[in-house]
A = this chain, B = another copy of it.
Amino acid sequence: MAFDRLIENIIQKQNPTVAGLDPKLEYVPASIKNACFEKYGKTLEGAAAALLEFNKAIIDQIYDIVPAIKPQAAYYEMYGWQGVKALADTIAYAKSKGMFVMTDGKRNDIGTTMEAYAAAHLGVTDVAGESVEAFGADALTVNGYLGSDGIRPLLNICKAEDKGIFVLVKTSNPSSGELQDMKLENGVSVYEQMGRMCEGWGEELPGKYGYSGVGAVVGATYPEQLKEMREKAPHTFFLVPGYGAQGGGAEDAKFAFDKNGFGAIINSSRGIMCAWKKQGLTEEDFAAAAGVEALRMKEDILSVIGEIKA
């Protein structure tokens, strides 16, 4: 089961964190940008080449510290198909370094269409008898608004290909409560209902550490709800955004973990990518600074949850 692999990677590195690779061109230092623009012009191709160089330099610094990366699809799509190619190349590079890759795409659709997304991001595509991997991540974030038949094709591929999903439950943004916090007639909030659905779907993908292959996104910016959901969804592994730039700290994130330090992985994106700013370095030092920040973040989280015991 895919999250068993992730948990083993977390134990081995004693680091329950994931580096969000959501690169904007403005984060990329001039030396990389200039070289790429010289080669390809100020084009989407040039921008995408720069993003890929930036990502690879960060991965080189962190792959032996951090167990996973989470590229955010939006930041690649904004650079067109050329950016989407950089996403595919980033995923392949991180996997070649032994990292677990979770594509943050928040995909959702009806069953037949979800089969296509599942094949795209987690499975293989049939091209006249040839099986080809399109993006090949280990896990994908998804939105469960459409219910079970939009999740079913993912479960099938997770089983067949040893992959996992994270369903949006309680998101980290300021307005997440507008719908998610509303109470249903049965007294349960919309996000708790979504958490229940995750527990149900997860029954088909049990894992040996007690967590299923159906995870949930629960933001560190809402520690009360994080604590509540850790209790109410005991078999659901959490992907926790909102640490760092969005305002959540280790004291908030700690509620995502069980007593063994399992059950969650904490994401930092801008905190890692733009670490040089906080460290008083220049943009050309972005990769080394990312490595230093990855270590600092690991220590910060471990300081509140203690050793992660198998």
Contact = CB atoms under 8 A, between A and B. Distances in A.
A281 B37 CA distance: 51
Contacts of A25: 126-128
A111 B182 contact: no
B85 A144 contact: no
B173 A150 contact: yes
Most chain B C-beta atoms within 10 Å of own C-beta, residue among A107, A180, A193? A107
A55 interface: no
Interface stretch (A2-10, A41-49, A206-214, A252-260): A41-49
Interface stretch (A70-78, A224-232, A296-304): A70-78
Contact of A148 (B78, B113, B120, B175): B175
Most chain B C-beta atoms within 10 Å of own C-beta, residue among A24, A78, A173? A78
A172 B109 CA distance: 10
Copies of this chain in the oligomer: 2
B145 A78 contact: no
Interface string A103-116: 00011111101101
A79 interface: yes
Given A43-B127, A44-B125, A147 B177 contact: yes
B182 A121 contact: no
A193 B172 contact: no
A159 interface: no
A113 B180 contact: no
Given A106-B108, A114-B74, A184-B182, A147 B129 contact: no
A150 B175 contact: yes
Interface string A65-96: 00000001011011111111101100000000
A33 interface: yes
Interface in A197-217: 197
Contact of A143 (B106, B121, B147, B190): B106
B179 A80 contact: no
Most chain B C-beta atoms within 10 Å of own C-beta, residue among A44, A125, A145, A183? A145
A293 interface: no
Contacts of A107: 74, 106
A78 B116 contact: yes
A176 interface: yes
A110 B171 contact: yes
Contact of A132 (B44, B128, B179, B197): B44
Nearest to A149: B175
A58 interface: no
Given A43-B127, A44-B134, A128-B37, A78 B117 contact: yes
Contacts of A108: 106, 108, 143, 168
B174 A193 contact: no
Nearest to A135: B80
Contacts of A87: 81
A145 B42 contact: no
Top 4 A-B pairs, shortest CB-CB distance: A147-B175, A147-B178, A74-B116, A110-B173
